[in-house]
Structure formats: C-alpha cells, structure tokens
Amino acid sequence: MKILTSQQIRYVDAETIKREAISSLELMKRASTAFYNWFIEKYSNKSTSVLIFSGVGNNGGDGLFIARLLHKSGYSVKVCIVEYKNQYSEDCAHNFRRAKAENISIIKIYNEDQIPDICKYDVVIDGIFGTGLSRDVTGIAESVIGKINESGAKVISIDVPSGLFLERKTTFAVKATETVTFQIPKLALFLPENNLFTGNVTIIDIGLNEQAISESDSNIYFTEKSEISKLIKPLNLFAHKGTVGHALIVGGSLGKCGSVCLASRAALKTGCGLVTAYMPKCGVQVIQINFPEAMAIEDRGERYISNIDFEIKPDAIGIGVGMGQNEETKKALHDFLINNKVPLVIDADGINILSSNHNWIELLKPDTILTPHPGELSRLVGGWSDDYDKIQKTRLFAQKYNLIIVVKGAYTLIIDSENIYMNSTGTPALATAGSGDVLTGIITSLLAQGYNPIDSAKVGVYIHGMTADFTTKSINPRSFVASDIIENIGNAYNNLEKIR
Ligand SMILES: NC(=O)C1=CN([C@@H]2O[C@H](COP(=O)(O)OP(=O)(O)OC[C@H]3O[C@@H](n4cnc5c(N)ncnc54)[C@H](OP(=O)(O)O)[C@@H]3O)[C@@H](O)[C@H]2O)[C@H](O)CC1
Ligand SMILES: [K+]
C-alpha cells in the first residue's frame, strides 16, 4: 500500500469525487461512517459520554458528521467548535447546520474559559485539524490542544492527531490514545518520535479510488499481508534438503554463542534445507548440543573468529551475530568480504566493524542486506536530527553503496536505493534479547531459498513481526523471548498461506 503526502491525498480525494461521480459531502459521509462503525464496536455501551472538538475545515466536518451519527444512535454527545478562523469549509458548515437542527449540544470556543471540563467525559474525539495543517498551531487551537493533553482523557483523533505535520517534525500536537486514519497510511503516523502523539494507529477503509491511489507517484510503501502472502514460494513436492537452500551463519565469540544458535534455528525453521554454523572453537559444542539439526564448522580461533575459511557452498550467508570486534575478527571479516560472492546479510558486530572501517563498505556486493538497530545505524550513517533526517541519511547511504538497509524498530523500515518499505507487523514484545539474531536467521534462510534480496528482507521482517502479533494473548509481551519468535514462524506461514 502506498504511503502518500498530504498533497497526494488531496489529489486522491478529488479524483475519487470525480471518477466515482460523488459529492465531497458523500466522501465525508463515507469517512465519518467508517469512523463511527469503528467507534461503536469499541465503545458499544451507549451511555459512553463523548466530547468532540471540531475545527472549521473538513476534519472538523468529519467531527460534526460523527457527532450526528453518534447522537442519532443514542450516545450522549457534546461538540465544541474550535473557531480558529471564521471561514468554514462548505461541508463543515453543512454539518454544523444539520447538527444544530438535530439538537446536538454545540458551543463555539473563542477563549480558554469556554473549554468544558474535559475529564467529565468518557472519550474525547479530536477533529480540530487533519491533513490540511499547513503551519504551527497558535491561538485558541493551541490552548484547546494544551487542555486536551493536560486532561489525561482518552482521546481518539480523526485521521491524524491535530497539529501533526505529515512531512516535517512535529513538536506540538494532540497526544492521542488512538488515531483512526482514513485508508492511506501517512508516514508521520509511524515514526518513533511521533508515537507520543499518535498512540495506537488503526487504518480504516473509506472507499477512496484505488486507481487514483495506484497512479500516485510514491516510493514509500506500507507492507500489507496480501502482498507478502503473494511473495511466499509454494513448496515443491519433489524437494529434498539439498534443493531448498543452504544457509551459513557466521558469528559467535566466547559468551555470545547463543546468538548463532538462535539465528541458525530461525533459519532452519524458516524453511531452508540445511543450516551450517561457522563459529570459534568455543561455540561448536554449544550449537551441536543445543541444536542438533545444524551442522557446524570450527574457526581456528578459540574464543573468537580469526579467519573465515570453509569449503561448503552455501546459498546465503548471515554474518556478524555475537561476533565481537577483536582485531583478528575484523581482519577475518575484511578478507571474507573481498572474496565473498554469496548473497549476504550483515548484522550486529559485522555492522559495527564496517562502521569503524568505512572504506570496507565498498567491498559489499550490490543488494547486500544490513540489519542495524538504531544505535548501529547511527554509527553507520552518522547521527540525525529527527526521524525524517534519519530516513533521508539512510536512503542516501543505501543509494551510495547500493545496499538494502533494514532499520529495526517499531514499524521497521526496509530501505534500498529506490524504495522505502515500512513493515506493518510486530509489537513491543520483539524488543528482547536475541530478537535481532532471529531476524538475521530468517532473512538469511529466505535468501538461501532463492528469494531475491529485497523480498527476503520484506518477507523476513513481516514474518518476524507476525510472531509477536499472534502471541499477544497467549504470551504476555513482557515474557516473550527470542525462542518464541522461532516457535511461531510456522504459524506465520500458515496464516500467510490461508489468505492466498
Ligand atoms: N481522503 C480523505 O482521507 C478524506 C479526508 N477528509 C477529511 O479532510 C481532512 C482534511 O481537511 P482540510 O479541510 O483539507 O484540512 P483541515 O481540516 O486539516 O484544516 C482546515 C484548514 O485549516 C487551515 N490551517 C492549516 N493550518 C492551520 C493552523 N496552524 N492554524 C489555523 N488554520 C490552519 C487551512 O486553511 P488555510 O486556507 O487557512 O491555510 C486548512 O485548510 C482530513 O484530515 C480528513 O479528516 C474528508 O472528510 C473525506 C476524505
Ligand atoms: K484530527
């Protein structure tokens, strides 16, 4: 699904109206009804009292339409119009007149004293500004947003939290508990620094014209289940372990051999036929006892890798987990990169070693996958001033070296030289020791099975996140561990195959 800018959203809006021969009011009705349906499912008790803050644009129009729908079905509703300017949009003005005629309690707010006691209401709906925000919030809108945030009330924002900029850093906006956004994902809703404003984000369909969306020129995508599901390769009836890919995991050092066990196990559970772990001597017994399905090759180093040398012919290699940064290990990585021709995933200390030897990055073959967490990324591409800057710097880095960078975190980003893919699965449960090692194993396995590098990264990150989504009820996120990811890879496949 494409992620669009506010200007592109306006275009899709206008095109939907034109191509489907509907009025703008009809489109507002679709959006408001979709929001209303979401709301009544969540708050089915009609004694829920609702305070709605509406602006004077179309976001405010949605707020008023939603007020009418809720009032009609028996909820107790009060509307406050935040009149930050006296020129209402046509559809907002229409809904204002209708709401008044339907005897909904409405007041206009021009100064702070008129703001009601927000805490007295069960839920606040925020419809002050939407995607039309074009400048910093001041005056009465600023005061109202300040009061909403102070109140500690449960706040549901319509489309976007009021005050949130879609294309630049936001410092002041409604701090929503939930944001219910209309059909098109907006980048700003999924950036870590905006989580304070967005709360939990839900995307709802409002029947925008799909053709107009697909014509929009965007290279930022929100990964969807249907798309990932289509990428899953079917099983071959005549497959045997030698035909479905051989993954090699290179890593480990004294005290950090578990990372290789996790990555290797994840690789096999993701479906490649063979997995070999390449480890220092101290790691070989560890993996053989813990994970008998894996084969192991011993490095000549006792406690850390000192010379990467093997005779097998793997289809993909994942390197770096638990590897440490001993000088001999660094040299071993350098020499390995000079000769390597196999599709590669680099993680953890592998990335750190590259960060401190920047000219080695040029040794990487096109489409090598790097999977940094934010700390590793900042060492690799330099610091950033905000999330937009982080994305821009990572994009330039990916373009310069022709690499695929998996920026791990909530809504992991997969950035290559052309596109950005934002992953839509996962929960905070994934922030646990070994989670990154497992991801490396999953992606390496997919590469070994013949998925192209960008699909390996997209599918791998998606499956990794899905395992946490499934288990939110059965395993409390606090006690979810990396092995739980591995145990649920099969369930993720089942779930993806179900919708094919
Ligand atoms: N396709 C969809 O998703 C649909 C979305 N809908 C809803 O429409 C809004 C967007 O509505 P819009 O009228 O374009 O904009 P807003 O309601 O966000 O803002 C209204 C006007 O406010 C002015 N503005 C901008 N920034 C400020 C500010 N800081 N202070 C004061 N005023 C400001 C601006 O007008 P100017 O001419 O003064 O610049 C805005 O136009 C979207 O979010 C959805 O909720 C439709 O309902 C259906 C389809
Ligand atoms: K809003």
In this predicted model, what pLDDT tens digit does every residue of 252-293 receive, in sequence order?
999 999 999 999 999 999 999 999 999 999 999 999 999 999
Query: Is 335 marked as a binding-site residue?
Result: no
Question: What's residue 239's pLDDT?
Answer: 82
Ligand 1, CB within 6 Å, residue ranges: 9, 13, 27-28, 31, 55, 57-62, 84-85, 89, 129-137, 141, 158-159, 182, 208
Across the strands, what pairs with 249?
277, 318
Of the chain, the percentage scoring pLDDT greater than 90 comes to 98
Q: Give the C-alpha separation, 56 to 298, whole Å.
A: 69
Give kind and range of the element (H or E) at residue 320. none
Measured in angstroms, how far is the CA atom of residue 131 from the centroid of ligand 1?
A: 5
Q: Which residue type occupies 439?
A: L
CB 456 within 8 A of CB 431: no
What does the DSSP 8-state code read for residue 133?
-
The candidate with the shortest Cα–Cα distance to 128, out of 229, 24, 57, is 57
3-state DSSP percent of the chain in helix, strand and coil, to 5: 45, 15, 40
Ligand in closest contact with the CA of 209: 1
CB 448 within 8 A of CB 263: no
Strands 49-54 and 316-319, by their bridges, are unpaired
Question: What's residue 243's pLDDT?
Answer: 84
Measured in angstroms, how far is the CA atom of residue 31 from the centroid of ligand 2?
A: 13
pLDDT of 401 higher than 70? yes
Query: Is 60 marked as a binding-site residue?
Result: yes
Mean pLDDT to the nearest integer, 233-259: 92
211 in helix, strand or coil? helix
The pair of three-digit structure tokens given for residue 464, joined into one six-digit string: 């990794």
* pTM, full prediction: 0.94
Which architecture characterizes domain 6-217 according to CATH? 3-Layer(aba) Sandwich (3.40)
Q: What are phi and psi of 358, to 5 degrees?
A: -55, -35
CB 122 within 8 A of CB 154: yes
CB 285 within 8 A of CB 258: no
Give kind and range of the element (H or E) at residue 291. none
Question: What's residue 500's pLDDT?
Answer: 63
CATH 3.40.50.300 fits 226-498, yes or no: no
Band (242; pLDDT cuts 50, 70, 90): confident
CB 129 within 8 A of CB 55: yes
Question: What's residue 290's pLDDT?
Answer: 93
Query: Is 322 marked as a binding-site residue?
Result: yes
pLDDT of 359 higher than 90? yes
Q: Which residue type occupies 104?
A: I
Interface TM-score (ipTM) > 0.90 = yes
Q: Give the C-alpha separation, 413 to 454, whole Å.
A: 12
Q: What are phi and psi of 376, to 5 degrees?
A: -65, -40
Domain segments of the chain as ranges: 6-217, 226-498
What does the DSSP 8-state code read for residue 244?
S
CB 432 within 8 A of CB 477: no
What confidence tens digit (pLDDT) does each residue in 313-342 have?
999 999 999 999 999 999 999 999 999 999
**Cα Rg, the chain, nearest whole Å:** 26
**Mutate-to-test residue for ligand 1 from 26, 83, 129, 137, highest number of ligand atoms within 8 A of CB:** 129
